[in-house]
Structure 1
Amino acid sequence: MELSPVGVFFVIVYLSIPFVLYIFQRLAEPSDDLLHRRKRTIVLVLGDLARSPRMLNHARSLAQGGLDVDLCGYDEGNKILPEIANSPRIAIHRIPAIINSANLPFVLFAIKKVLLQHILLLKLLWSLRGADFLLVQNPPSIPTLGIARFFVVFLSRPTKLIIDWHNLGYSILALKFSKPKDSFDDAAVSKHPLVWLYRWYEKFFGYHAYCHFTVSIHMGEVLRNRFKMKAKRILPLYDRPALQFHPLSFEEKKAVFANHSKDIFDGMGPSTQEKIIITSTSYTPDEDIYMLLEALKLYDTRKSELDSAVIPNGGSSVPKPKKKTLPRLRVIITGKGPLKSEIEEYVENKLKLSSISIHMPWLAAEDYPLVLGTADVGVSLHLSSSGVDLPMKAVDMFGVGVPVISVTYPALSELVRDKVNGLHVKTAQDITDSFEKLFVDDELYDTVKAGAMRETRIKWDHEWNKKVGPLFGIGEYRQRNDDEVSESSSSSSSGF
């Protein structure tokens, strides 16, 4: 059978693949002059570095442990903490953001964006080849996991791939296709073909990673049971706040009130009879800000009813016997994201409240933990797409000793324990009721406040050095076998 010229061309291309890959492998091998250098880790997040606190914590811990770090991610104009930005062992590599400046249709722009991301990531990682570790954040899975796998197999064979699982990417995509609310059934979520494809991609390219970090034990169980990954390579590592998150003294609170007297705390002092509620948000669909706003309307109505309630007494009226009244609220919603302008418009024009003021600032990294520390109660509105991730915002709140009201889902009790360091809620009415309980029942508030203060004792550095530091040769002990994650460290930290 005679081949056409096109057929001959494809046969030649096919037969040349092994040779090309061999050349790539030879180019990626480290030279002799690198054998005695310090270990180096690439920390990669396909997102804004300043808003990726967990990955920044990884970079800081690695640098403190004596490793060189290449920190890679987007720059969206937000400041990175000076201790990371100015560290001599951390080199920051900015990935250009891809913007739909031509107003292309969504599908065309999505294709263009993914193709450009492939090119940008390959170019960046090629320049960083020879690192000992590549630590990537997931999600986003596409194209990060595929590129990372290609990099360690063909471009930088000495590099070990570690995936830090913040959530399951396919479950987030499912939110775009009418995922049933409060349903964490994997079969139901994966019915849409694009979601199924994303799930396959995430599992296929994630399976062969050297090690997996997860934000919860529940997530580790998903990787083991649904994705059939090796349990000994799964290390649950809870998010913990960095050192800048700590409870504020009376004098520190006074200073924060003074520094933000014009934008957040006008007329506010430490002795003001007004409770401060704070929530942090990225203004995305997986955080229901409208649930909080509805709860505030209900609270405002409830307070007005209690304040104006009277008992008839002949021709006159006298106030009802006083019980503890509900306090006024100062609500701080901090963050920015795609839905912020819509929420701002709703608050300004449609939400009429008489006993509640709402402030919606964007706080710099150095101001965020200080303002957070002034709050009486924090609210987490994170609606988990998978049911197995944990809200980083609640971690920050515990870092400053603030109890948390949180929307509940399966893994939440690993972080927020009901009536121990916070309260679990499902609806706007539940949030309203929680405010009322906490501000009327001193015993309940004191209990959850004490629980939140206990959380401040456990910091990121302690957890990181103990649980995953040994993987990098850092921490309380070193790995006996450099090629395997020890069974003992896995079983002691994962709870499997």
Structure 2
Amino acid sequence: MRSVVVFVLGDVGRSPRMMYHAESFANDGFETYIVGYHGSKPTPALLSTPHVQFFYLHQLPQFFSRLPFMIVTPIKIIHQVLAVFITLLFTVPNTPEFIIAQNPPSIPTLMVMWVISYVRPTKVIIDWHNLGYTILALKLGETHLMVRLAKLIEKYFGRIAYAHLFVTNAMQDFLVTRWNLRGLKIVLHDRPPSHFHRCSPSETHELFCRLDPNLTSCSSLRSFLPEFEVPYSTPFTMGVPTAPSIWSLRDGTPSSVHFPTLRAERTALLVSSTSWTADEDFGLLLEALDIYNRVASAKGGEKTLPRILVMITGKGPLKDMYMGKIQRTQHAWDFVRCTSTWLDTADYPLLLGSADIGICLHSSSSALDLPMKIVDMFGCGLPVCALDFACLQELVRPGWNGLIFGSSEELAGHLISLLRGFPRSPTLETLKSAFVKTLESPSPSSAHSFSSSTDVCQGVGSKWEWTSWADNWNEFVQPIVSESHISQQ
């Protein structure tokens, strides 16, 4: 079989785009070797795909993390270089025809790929998710010597590859113009896998029966939500009793309820997915929720605006700080509650597919990438409110599939507009209708039209269309790795 290495210098389970690449290569007939760090569980679809093998890199011993940043960084890089070379040159069987590597991190990924391409007859594909030096600049500042050195390294070693994949048109334009990249150049917008979808009431009911411990462990949250009794009801659904049908939950608990329906008096469900890093300002969300709570609490507001539950998913370094701030603030709120949860890969799309509004606070360090979290939300038919930056309108069309904000006041205004009259809010239903039409009537050429059409990127012209990751990958990546294309080189 033909072979490929999918390389991630990070947690494989938290690198969805690279896992989707691996699944696509395997389905296209490649023996697929995934190299990266062990951590979160990979997607179930990838684990069940034939001809996929995992080779996990050894982590730097934990005690090194207590050293100062300037000392531990070079030690970490040397350890990574040795681990990657040993794995790619000696552990992975045979010589892979392709190595597709995620960037960032750029150091030492791009240097290692550059050397490997000369040592072994392997074609390197760089998947440009963002620019590594701009992420480092968030920590050290743009003028720091290490940031300037990182930029030079990224520019030099990332210039030459068999192919370059970009997550946005803006990133392609920037890198081709400024860095003079050599090799095939293709824009591959992120798309979710085909199993991401809008949930039925039964799926929502089953999900929140499983999430019941998360909701009931906090007494203030339990008293905030409508009364419910699992498995007969949840804060968002109500089971309809039937006689002799037996409906079993995933954990095997039987219940004499069937065909759950959404509760008319339910709390509005908002979801924000995050890595809890410096490029997402949750202080902005807190301010917006405080404004919403004041408006909803004012005379007359309680009759038109619902209570809202904000579920924040993800792990990261700033989680404890922000969740502590949330806990100290929300005790004074009557209409808003926030909770943080970590979901397995099977439940995450179900939460998105059950929510009413998605919130994205991602502010791109380079202003050239797009948040994967919005892609996941769109795959589940979920409209978003997204923090604005330069190329966001390649993905979000304001007033069509979501709304864009630049301040906490603007975000609060969007939430008030979308939720007034909930659950029968005309504004929210208008945004949801864009997904219903698209998901029910997919266009075979939708991936191409959305990826290349200037009109669509600017939010005008032909109607907005959507497609799955598999359709997009087969149209743009499969041709450049096909045997017929290679033989013509």
TM over 0.5: yes
Aligned counterparts of 2:155 and 2:334: Cα–Cα separation in 1: 51
> Of 302, 307, 330, which residue of structure 1 is paired with 2:295?
302
86-95 or 378-387, larger mean C-alpha shift: 86-95
Contact persistence 1:377–1:404 (CA under 8 A):
yes
Q: Residue in 2 aligned with 1:437?
A: 417
Q: Residue in 1 aligned with 2:307?
A: 328
> Of 145, 167, 170, which residue of structure 2 is paired with 1:193?
145
Contact persistence 2:313–2:340 (CA under 8 A):
yes
* Amino acid of the structure 2 residue aligned with 1:259: R
Q: Residue in 2 aligned with 1:97?
A: 59
1:346 paired with 2:352, answer no
Aligned counterparts of 1:174 and 1:452: Cα–Cα separation in 2: 37
Q: Residue in 2 aligned with 1:10?
A: none
> Of 41, 59, 74, which residue of structure 1 is paired with 2:37?
74
Report the 3-state secondary structure (helix = DSSP H, G, I; strand = E; otherwise coil) of the residue aligned with 2:63: coil
Q: Residue in 1 aligned with 2:431?
A: 448
> Of 383, 389, 392, which residue of structure 1 is paired with 2:372?
392
Give structure 1 regions of 4+ aligned residues with deviation exceeding 6 angstroms.
Answer: none
Q: TM-score, normalised by structure 1?
A: 0.80
Measured against aligned partners, the alpha-carbon deviations of 1:222-251 in whole angstroms (never above 9, x if no partner) come to 111111124x71100011001221111122
Superposition map of 1:9-88 within 5 A: 38-76=1-39, 78-88=40-50
* Amino acid of the structure 2 residue aligned with 1:149: W
1:207 paired with 2:186, answer no
Aligned counterparts of 1:92 and 1:169: Cα–Cα separation in 2: 25
> Of 373, 398, 408, which residue of structure 2 is paired with 1:418?
398
Q: Residue in 2 aligned with 1:473?
A: 482
Q: Residue in 2 aligned with 1:121?
A: 84
* Amino acid of the structure 2 residue aligned with 1:463: N
- Name the larger-Rg structure: 1
Report the 3-state secondary structure (helix = DSSP H, G, I; strand = E; otherwise coil) of the residue aligned with 2:485: coil
Aligned counterparts of 2:57 and 2:418: Cα–Cα separation in 1: 45
Change (3 A) 1:284 1:138: same
Change (3 A) 1:108 1:160: same
Aligned counterparts of 1:85 and 1:172: Cα–Cα separation in 2: 31
Which structure 2 residue ranges, 5 or more long, are not aligned? 217-221, 223-227, 229-234, 238-261, 443-466
> Of 98, 102, 115, which residue of structure 2 is paired with 1:137?
102
Aligned counterparts of 1:45 and 1:280: Cα–Cα separation in 2: 21
Identity between Structure 1 and Structure 2 (%): 36
241-250 or 117-126, larger mean C-alpha shift: 241-250
Which structure 1 residue ranges, 5 or more long, are not aligned? 1-37, 179-188, 309-321, 484-496
Q: Residue in 2 aligned with 1:256?
A: 207
Change (3 A) 1:160 1:455: farther
1:387 to partner: Cα distance: 0.7
Measured against aligned partners, the alpha-carbon deviations of 1:252-300 in whole angstroms (never above 9, x if no partner) come to 2222222222314864022133210000000000111221112111111
Contact persistence 2:330–2:337 (CA under 8 A):
no
Contact persistence 2:167–2:187 (CA under 8 A):
yes
* Amino acid of the structure 2 residue aligned with 1:83: A
1:429 to partner: Cα distance: 1.1
Contact persistence 2:330–2:336 (CA under 8 A):
no
Q: Residue in 1 aligned with 2:196?
A: 245
Aligned counterparts of 1:468 and 1:333: Cα–Cα separation in 2: 33
1:451 to partner: Cα distance: 2.2
Measured against aligned partners, the alpha-carbon deviations of 1:183-213 in whole angstroms (never above 9, x if no partner) come to xxxxxx5x43322211111111011111000
1:371 to partner: Cα distance: 1.2
> Of 106, 125, 135, which residue of structure 2 is paired with 1:162?
125
Change (3 A) 1:374 1:264: farther
Aligned counterparts of 1:371 and 1:464: Cα–Cα separation in 2: 25
Change (3 A) 1:454 1:415: farther
Aligned counterparts of 2:61 and 2:350: Cα–Cα separation in 1: 33
Report the 3-state secondary structure (helix = DSSP H, G, I; strand = E; otherwise coil) of the residue aligned with 1:101: helix
Q: Residue in 1 aligned with 2:174?
A: 222
Q: How many residues are aligned here?
A: 414
1:86 to partner: Cα distance: 3.6
341-350 or 265-274, larger mean C-alpha shift: 265-274
* Amino acid of the structure 2 residue aligned with 1:167: N
Change (3 A) 1:264 1:414: farther
Report the 3-state secondary structure (helix = DSSP H, G, I; strand = E; otherwise coil) of the residue aligned with 1:222: helix
Aligned counterparts of 1:99 and 1:410: Cα–Cα separation in 2: 39
> Of 345, 370, 381, which residue of structure 2 is paired with 1:401?
381
Change (3 A) 1:44 1:480: closer
* Amino acid of the structure 1 residue aligned with 2:313: T
Measured against aligned partners, the alpha-carbon deviations of 1:65-124 in whole angstroms (never above 9, x if no partner) come to 110111011112x21123322433011011122244142222111111111001101111
Contact persistence 1:164–1:212 (CA under 8 A):
yes
Q: TM-score, normalised by structure 2?
A: 0.81
